[in-house]
Amino acid sequence: MLYAIGDIHGQLAQLDRALALTEADGGRDAPHVFLGDLPDRGPDTRGVIDRLMEGQAAGRDWTVLLGNHDRMFLRFVRDGVEHDPAITSGKGWLYPALGGPATLAAYGVMADDLTSDRPALLAETRDAVPSAHLDWLAGLHLWHRAQGHLFVHAGIRPGIPVEDQSEEDLIWIREGWLDDTRDHGEMIVHGHTALDHPRHEGNRINLDGGAGYGRPLVPAVLEDGRWFTLSEVGRHPLTPPD
């Protein structure tokens, strides 16, 4: 049995609810895979990172993957980099819709994309964000293979072995991936592209149910090769469309 949880985006209350659901299903000691995008948009990035770090420190079998928002947060604090070339609009991490200001607010730093004194903001941010959080984010995995499934944040470049995939594709890809219907040799489980609810596409499973946009964080469980989502009333089959 294995549990997977999609993009959290600073939603600590939703994370706690999801973990309560997996524990009630029987998963306290079962492996969990978190698909990345821990910060941004929601109100408590700090609490989300603390919760996951505490769980790992307590010996829980929790694998956490790197998402594009995790990397944007890390790059801003460590390197002062605000813009990612993958965002073709040119908007930076401090643009409110991308969620950077909400993440900084969780650490007690108030900012937006109009903040003019960037050096002062960066200095305040570096004082506020614990180095343990940054070190932990920097150590997150790009992919994880378990029980015949490959877990990544965004997806893969089809036809390329996972060991040869670029970090950019693993945390950002949509074009050339979401519309690819071929069998990838193993089921790919990912997040990154927000839906209204997790969906099984036959050759891949997208578990980003849109928590970053105020929708519930829906955990999923894999048992005996079958996937289910979890709610307060139990399991619900997650199967490909007819």
Look at the pTM and tell me if it is higher than 0.75.
yes
Residue 213, SS3 per DSSP: helix
Confidence of residue 191 (pLDDT cuts 50, 70, 90): very high
Count H helices, E strands: the chain?
7, 11
- Kindly list the structural domains of the chain, giving each domain's residue range(s) and its CATH number in brackets, ordered by start: 2-148+185-237 (3.60.21.10)
Indicate whether 20 pLDDT > 80.
yes
* Strands (E) located in 19-169: 32-34, 62-64, 143-146, 149-152
The token pair that represents 232 in the structure block: 């307060």
**Environment class of 49 (CB within 10 Å of its CB; exposed 0-12, middle 13-18, buried 19+):** buried
Region 46-63: mean pLDDT is 98
Indicate whether 242 pLDDT > 80.
no
What pLDDT, on a 0 to 100 scale, did the predictor assign at position 27? 86
Q: How many CB atoms are located within 10 Å of the residue 47 CB?
A: 17
Indicate whether 181 pLDDT > 90.
yes
Look up residue 65 and give its DSSP letter.
B
Confidence of residue 239 (pLDDT cuts 50, 70, 90): very high
